[in-house]
Copies of this chain bind each other. A is one copy, B any other.
Amino acid sequence: MDEVLTGLLRPKSIAIIGASATPGKIGHTVVKNLVESGYQGGIYPVNPTADEILGLKVYKSVLDIPEPVDAAAITVPAKFVIDVTKECGEKGVKGLIVISSGFAEVGDTELEEELVRIANSYGMRVLGPNVVGTLSNSDNMNASFAPFLPLDGSASLVSQSGALLIAIDAITFTRRIGFDKLISIGNMSDVDFADTVAWLNEDENTKCITLYIEGITDGRRFIKESANTHKPIVVLKAGVSEHGAAAAASHTGSLAGAQKIYSAAFEQAGAIQATDLSDLFNCTLALSLQPPMQGDNLLVLTNGGGVGVLATDSAEEAGLPMKFAPEAVQEELKKHMPSFGSAKNPVDLTGMAGNEWYFDSTKYAFAHEWVDGLVVLYCETAMTNPMEIAKSLHRAITETGIKDKPVTISFVGGERSDEAMQWLVENGIPAYNDPHLAVKAMGTLRDYARLQELKNEPINNNHKVDKQAAMDIIEAVRANGRTGMTEIESKGIFKAYGLPVVQTSVVTSEEEAVETAESFGYPVVMKIVSPDILHKSDAGGVKVNIEDEVGVREAYKTILENAKAYKADAEIHGILIQEMAPWGTETIVGSVNDHTFGPTVMFGLGGIFVEVLKDVTFRVAPISEKEAQIMLDGIRGAPILDGVRGEAPRDRKALAEVLSRYAFMITDLSEEILESDANPILVYEEGKGVKVVDARIILTEK
């Protein structure tokens, strides 16, 4: 565990620099909050002009404090922050909670950078500036100007919005969703999401890490630290609307949007993505109280047909379509319901179900090995008492002794149901006031399990490549003052990285044409290369399916004659010879070098799938072959690769291999390649591989 961050987030003592005796001032509020939250460490107000605040001795300078100081909460105006930072450094403070604003958020990036530089030079870390502070129930510590500690719980929240953190602090009591810590991360000048995720992963009081993110600074570090955690992470990313991509130079660039890449990155980080604020709380509740769901068998118990049907719909939406339980399970369940009940799935105990039936069927079902996850629904009836039902359910679950299988609950009813659900949550079982939410929560627990399985897939970083050959081409292009590479240059790079490109070369004599064609193998395509002839076919400048030497010689002559006939004074650079790939299923692979996440690979099917449907998927590079396979399944047109209209299945294995090799290439050349397309890549029948027909690389500006 990072000792410095522990000093910042679980300090044994805190100095409040800029502490004030005037109620209402932030420097006063922070001292008051620390005292009122029952903080047991040293509280040292610092202010050159005051003597006592709330009965505490005030020091003129942090240097005057006789005891060691772990953290300093700084509330002085921005212009004084540098000076007090130096004093904190001298004092040996571990971390600064810079509540003061007036830094990068108002444009003063320099001051912020200076603050971090000085703090780091003393070995201190900086939280903020422009933060609300940090709160921890397990430390009875409210080191912030948020009014009180949140409802106690086992999740911890890191929020990039201070206003939202304060609002959530209050919400915890009305929504009954508990947190151990609330950490305001502000401008993230130093301590960022990656730091807090790594630290919370080691924090004994945190079971689930909840993040409100507006933007990430170092995307790759965030993915790495998140993927390393053994605790669930749930993220609400604000600002998912697409940012403008009009200026993109490549096809892939025009398809990449912040949302799609963030979404891919969160998946690779193993993090659950919440869709809105309520969903953030609902996911947090499930992930902080229940284990992941390790298989696909969901069983639903209910006392009402209506909510059962609604749950069936929700299960399908959550990716957990309901199956009937085995006969033996149904037989046993039938013992706990009237004859007109149903032991299928959902199991309908009917409106006659009381505590006992609920208890017996829950205990039996939860313990049964077929069941991977249990959802219990209850519609409030006049004959039953919600709190008694809740207690029966809790006792049934507890008596099985099972701790590695999840259960979620929904009570549909009024105040008595709400109270019963509150009791369930306090006793470790997530309960929601809508059957849809209980099923969705189970889907989240399943998704979490699925994401964890992907984390340990090995990534091959030892592809045999000829990097020097690639760099030679790149340097030649740069020497030429260009960043756009030609098809032939781009293919050279691809070839150096072992991608199966359709070979292409420009020749300037008939002999060279024959030699080149022979080296490629027949059939070949030949095309005029002239800046003056744009519509090559119209000019008779294209010949396809050339089968032998005679054909090459004839085509060479004819194309030149046609070109001259078309435009007598055309400047002719030569004739392009290209290996002729047999037709296959069109796909596209490409890359962007994302501002936040760096080299990122894209996959899609060609033609209308990309052009009309924008049916593409992204991953931050490099990727494992397993991940490449998942990308192939991650588009709506995925069935195309299984073969449609009676076609044989396509060579997915070869395609996945090319995809992961491509991802390796853009990672290895991340300093050089800004955007790229391999479009189309033709995919043949299983065992027959793929061919990259066209290539385009745009280099970074240097």
Chain A residues at the B interface, C-beta cutoff of 8 Å = 29, 106, 145, 147, 159-161, 163-164, 166-175, 212, 214, 236, 238-241, 275-278, 303-307, 309-310, 312-314, 316, 321, 340, 351, 379-382, 412-418, 433-437, 608, 611-613, 636-637, 639-640, 644-645
Give A414 to B321 CA distance when docked, in angstroms. Answer: 36
Q: Knowing A145-B382, A340-B106, A645-B611 touch, does A415 contact B174 (C-beta < 8 A)?
A: yes
Give A457 to B321 CA distance when docked, in angstroms. Answer: 39
Nearest 10 pairs of A and B residues by beta carbon:
A170-B414, A161-B306, A276-B436, A163-B304, A238-B309, A164-B306, A167-B412, A167-B379, A163-B379, A170-B413
A640 CB contacts on chain B under 8 angstroms: 608, 612
| Nearest residue, chain B, Cβ from A302 | B163
A170 touching B437 by the CB < 8 A rule?
no
A303 CB contacts on chain B under 8 angstroms: 163
A382 touching B415 by the CB < 8 A rule?
no
Q: A159-B306, A236-B310, A276-B314 are in contact. List 8 more A-B contacts (CB 8 A).
A: A29-B382, A164-B412, A167-B304, A167-B379, A173-B415, A277-B434, A278-B436, A612-B644
Give A309 to B160 CA distance when docked, in angstroms. Answer: 12
B277 touching A310 by the CB < 8 A rule?
yes
A261 to chain B, nearest CB (A): 16
A95 to chain B, nearest CB (A): 24
A306 touching B163 by the CB < 8 A rule?
yes
Give A161 to B29 CA distance when docked, in angstroms. Answer: 53
A321 CB contacts on chain B under 8 angstroms: 241
B414 touching A380 by the CB < 8 A rule?
no
| Nearest residue, chain B, Cβ from A351 | B163
A305 interface neighbour in B163, B312, B416, Cβ under 8 Å: B163
Q: Specify which of A164, A170, A434 lies most central, judged by the most chain B CB atoms within 10 Å of its CB.
A: A170
A644 touching B239 by the CB < 8 A rule?
no
A416 CB contacts on chain B under 8 angstroms: 170
Each complex incorporates copies of this chain amounting to 2
Give A320 to B160 CA distance when docked, in angstroms. Answer: 26
A23 to chain B, nearest CB (A): 12
A311 to chain B, nearest CB (A): 9
A306 interface neighbour in B214, B275, B417, Cβ under 8 Å: B214
A159 CB contacts on chain B under 8 angstroms: 306
Give A175 to B433 CA distance when docked, in angstroms. Answer: 10
A412 interface neighbour in B171, B214, B382, B612, Cβ under 8 Å: B171
A240 CB contacts on chain B under 8 angstroms: 313, 316
A379 touching B412 by the CB < 8 A rule?
no
| Nearest residue, chain B, Cβ from A173 | B414
Give A363 to B159 CA distance when docked, in angstroms. Answer: 32
A304 touching B380 by the CB < 8 A rule?
no
A236 CB contacts on chain B under 8 angstroms: 310
| Nearest residue, chain B, Cβ from A435 | B277
| Nearest residue, chain B, Cβ from A382 | B147
A171 CB contacts on chain B under 8 angstroms: 412-414, 433
B310 touching A417 by the CB < 8 A rule?
no
| Nearest residue, chain B, Cβ from A432 | B278
Name 12 A/B residue pairs within 8 A (Cβ), A-sorted.
A163-B307, A164-B307, A167-B379, A172-B414, A173-B414, A175-B433, A214-B306, A238-B310, A240-B316, A241-B312, A277-B412, A608-B644
A351 CB contacts on chain B under 8 angstroms: 163
Give A310 to B277 CA distance when docked, in angstroms. Answer: 8
A637 interface neighbour in B164, B173, B613, Cβ under 8 Å: B613
Q: Specify which of A240, A241, A310, A637 lies most central, judged by the most chain B CB atoms within 10 Å of its CB.
A: A310
B612 touching A382 by the CB < 8 A rule?
no
A175 CB contacts on chain B under 8 angstroms: 433
| Nearest residue, chain B, Cβ from A307 | B164
| Nearest residue, chain B, Cβ from A145 | B382
B306 touching A238 by the CB < 8 A rule?
yes
A163 CB contacts on chain B under 8 angstroms: 303-307, 351, 379, 381
Give A305 to B186 CA distance when docked, in angstroms. Answer: 13
| Nearest residue, chain B, Cβ from A151 | B414
A324 to chain B, nearest CB (A): 14
A434 touching B608 by the CB < 8 A rule?
no
Q: Knowing A382-B166, A608-B637 touch, does A313 contact B174 (C-beta < 8 A)?
A: no
| Nearest residue, chain B, Cβ from A160 | B306
A310 touching B382 by the CB < 8 A rule?
no
A639 CB contacts on chain B under 8 angstroms: 612
